[in-house]
Structure formats: C-alpha cells, structure tokens
Amino acid sequence: MWIENKDEIVEAGNHFIEHILNGHGITPGKHNKYLCISPDHNDNEPSMVMYNDHLYCFGCGKSYDSLETVKVLDGLDTKEALKKLADIAGVEVKYKNDKEMLNMYKELSDILIHDYNKFPKEVKEYVAKKKLDYRKFDDFDVGVFNPKQFRSVISRYDAHKVHKLNQTMLNKPTSLIFTIKDIKGRPVAFAARDCTGAKPKYINTSTTIYYKKSRNPFLIDRVLDYKYVYVVEGYTDALLMQIKGIPAVAIASATVPEKTVETLKDLGVEGIIVVLDGDAEGIKGVNRTIAKVLPESGMKCAMKRLPNGIDPDEYINDKGVSGFNQLPMMPFSEFWMRENKELKPRERLNEILKIMSKAELGNPSNHFNALEKVCNEMDINYNVEDIKKMYRSKVVLEKLPGIMDSMHKAESEIRYLRRTLGDMLERIDD
C-alpha cells in the first residue's frame, strides 16, 4: 500500500457511510435497516444496520467500514477506493515517499556503460543483429553494468531495496540493460536482455512504490508531447523507433494493459496505434485489447498490421521509416472483421458493432466505411447505411440497462419521500 494515511482516510470516511449509500440510491427500509450490500447475500428483508462507524448485516454476519462499502458499491480496488473515500471525506491523500530507492536507481543508471567498444562480444552481436544505433545509447541510458561497480553501489543500500532489483541478470556483463524512467524522467526500473541465448530472455526489476510495469511502459518519458503514440511489445522495437524519431512505448506484453491506456490518457494522448508482433500471440493480444480494454477506455485506437512473423524493428530496418509510415493504418473494427476466423462474418460484424457501442471511440463513422469494404470482400451484403442502423440499435441496447437502473432508483426515492412525508403528516396530525 503506497498510501500512508490509510487509517486517517477510513476513519474520516466512516462518518460518510450513509452519504455513500444514499449516493448509490440505497435508502433504509423497515425498522431503519438496509438491504445487505454484500454481493454474496441475496437479502430479501433489510438485514443491515447502520452503526456509528460501520454497517453490520445480521443475515450474513458481514460488517463494512467506509472503505469496504466503497470497494463493494463501486467495484474498486483498495487504492482506488481510498482515493475516492478521501475525496468524499475531504482528506488529503498522502503517498509514501522513498528517496533512497530513487537514489539507488539513479546511481545505477549513472554507472551504466554506454560505450559499444567496451561491451562483451555477446552484447555487441545482439546490438548488431538488432541494428540498434549504439551512438544513442547514452541518451537513452541503455548499456551494460560492470558487476564490480554494480555490487559496490548496491552494497550501500538496504537489503529490502536491493532485493527489488532481481539482480541475477542485471549483475551480468552479458546483459543489455534498458533503463525504465517515469514520466518525470527518473530511473525507476531496469529491464535486462540476456544476450547469451539463455532463458529467460528478459527480466524486469520488481514493482516498487515508483514502478508498476503496466502503469509505466518503457520510454513513457519520451512521448509526453504527442497526441498519438505507438504501442509495441518489445523494448528493442520501441528503442529503435524512438531513435528514428517515432513516438513509441514498449509494454513487454502481448495485450495492451488497461493501466497503460489510462496512463497515456492522463498524459493527454488521444489515440494509440498498436503495432504488436505479426505472430499468433500478437494477433491474440490485439483481439484481447479490442474486446477487453478499449470499450472501457474511450481511447481512439488504430493498428498497423505487420507481415506474419515480422517484428516492428525488423520491418523498420528492412523498409525504413518511410516504409513503416506507408504501412496503412487499420481501424480496429477492420482488424476484428478480418482476424476472428472462428466466427462467421455476420457474427463478426455483430460482435465488433457490440464492442464499438460500448466504446466511445471518437467518431464511429470512421469505422463504417472500412466495415463496408470488408463485408463486400466477404460477400455479405451490408452497406454503410445497414451497418450504421445495426450499430445504432446496439448502442440503444447497451444504454438500456443504465436507463432502467436510474428509473428504478428514482422510483425507490419517490417511495422513500412518500413514506417520510407520510410520517411527518402523521406527526402533525398527532
């Protein structure tokens, strides 16, 4: 937990439990009791009692303080729930700070050797094979560690911090080291590529209070001023692209994590162009990204499709930056239509329109023409107008549960007001 004043937030939040319940349209019923909020308890008579600083359910025996209440009602993890609770209770969130840890990463990045001529043979071969311009390694803090210097730095830090480094591969002269920085440009992690051919090929340093892989993709510090950013899998791909002036970050995973999209959005990035490896894993990753991540994110997204089995760095080395730029941008809907071969074309269209209806991805009309084109190729006769109509019906279906929900809420509020009013009138009568 990186929030220092958790107890303070929860305590302050405990005065607002009723307010939180009301915010979700939950009001007391018979005998001033609430329906249990536990998703596991299908309460049919109100069994939950509001105490001074917590809720208690006599049906299932669960109790909820303000933090648990927010977690359940908003479906948030602890950290997010604490932030929300702090907001409700008007308490400032204080984050733990660990300057020592930052110092260690900075010191280590400073002792990285960037001079190609001093690299061991294995690393030289790897750099040559990847056609990386090593004259730029200094600028990107890429290089190799001298194990003796490495050990001398870490000997001055406490064991807990050093443990986070997963030293085995960092501390090897035959590993090429990538320094991962946060958006402020501070070194917060390292990735090591073993150049001897041993497995695993890559290792990362561990999660710390300053670094989480999904939140902090490699080279995020280099895309701060861009509206569109390329997202690739490999560190060498992103490095090569950046050296050639293409704004790219590396996620080191086949699916674009939700948190990566969130981070980029927070930076003001409007769209991502996914260029995952042109292999089966890459395609699966794009599919997962489209189905799981994009509908929630509201991020615009397109992709570039590489020839089978070719990674971005190979493609750029082969065709140059201009060749890469000429590679057509594909709206994700078109990709979905072409790739999901286990579904029949009509089902595919249905599915992608459903995904689009959940995703507020700028202007959906960008997709309609592409979809018409693919439909024609696949001999299903939908034109742009048909597709638009289908899309609109899906949008309505998608929004319907929300509308029904708020109607139910409004009804229950009216019932509550009537009851309260009735009580008041009775008292006046008395």
Strand order in the sheet with 55-57: 48-50, 55-57, 63-64
Q: Return the range that interacts with Zn ion (CB under 5 A); candidates 32-40, 106-114, 349-357, 407-415.
A: 32-40
Question: Does 36 contact Zn ion by CB under 5 A?
Answer: yes
Residue 340 to residue 1: CA distance in whole angstroms = 40
Q: Return the range that interacts with Zn ion (CB under 5 A); candidates 28-36, 270-278, 325-333, 379-387.
A: 28-36
Least separation in angstroms between CB 59 and Zn ion? 4
What's the Rg (C-alpha) of the chain? 27
Question: Does 50 contact Zn ion by CB under 5 A?
Answer: no
User: Could you tell me if 106 and 99 are in contact, meaning their C-beta atoms sit under 8 angstroms apart?
Assistant: no
Least separation in angstroms between CB 29 and Zn ion? 14
Closest CA to 313 of 107, 128, 82: 128
Least separation in angstroms between CB 289 and Zn ion? 38
Nearer to Zn ion, 62 or 319 (CB): 62
Question: Does 55 contact Zn ion by CB under 5 A?
Answer: no
Question: Does 246 contact Zn ion by CB under 5 A?
Answer: no
Question: Does 59 contact Zn ion by CB under 5 A?
Answer: yes
Closest CA to 272 of 251, 244, 243: 251
Least separation in angstroms between CB 38 and Zn ion? 5
Residue 94 to residue 253: CA distance in whole angstroms = 31
Question: Does 54 contact Zn ion by CB under 5 A?
Answer: no
Nearer to Zn ion, 57 or 102 (CB): 57
Type of residue found at 211 = Y
User: Could you tell me if 278 and 171 are in contact, meaning their C-beta atoms sit under 8 angstroms apart?
Assistant: no
Judged by CB under 5 A, the residue of 24, 29, 41, 291 near Zn ion is 41
Type of residue found at 230 = Y
Q: How far is CA 258 from CA 104, 205, 216, 253, in A?
A: 29, 21, 12, 12
Number of residues that bind Zn ion (CB under 5 A): 6
Question: Does 38 contact Zn ion by CB under 5 A?
Answer: yes
User: Could you tell me if 81 and 72 are in contact, meaning their C-beta atoms sit under 8 angstroms apart?
Assistant: no
Q: Return the range that interacts with Zn ion (CB under 5 A); candidates 29-37, 219-227, 327-335, 337-345.
A: 29-37
User: Could you tell me if 310 and 317 are in contact, meaning their C-beta atoms sit under 8 angstroms apart?
Assistant: no
Angle at 115 between CA 114 and CA 120, to 5 degrees: 100
Question: Does 136 contact Zn ion by CB under 5 A?
Answer: no
Residues in contact with Zn ion, shown as a per-residue x/- string from 336 to 365 under the rule CB under 5 A: ------------------------------
Nearer to Zn ion, 47 or 204 (CB): 47
Judged by CB under 5 A, the residue of 17, 57, 67, 112 near Zn ion is 57
Contact residues for Zn ion, defined by CB under 5 A: 36, 38, 41, 57, 59-60
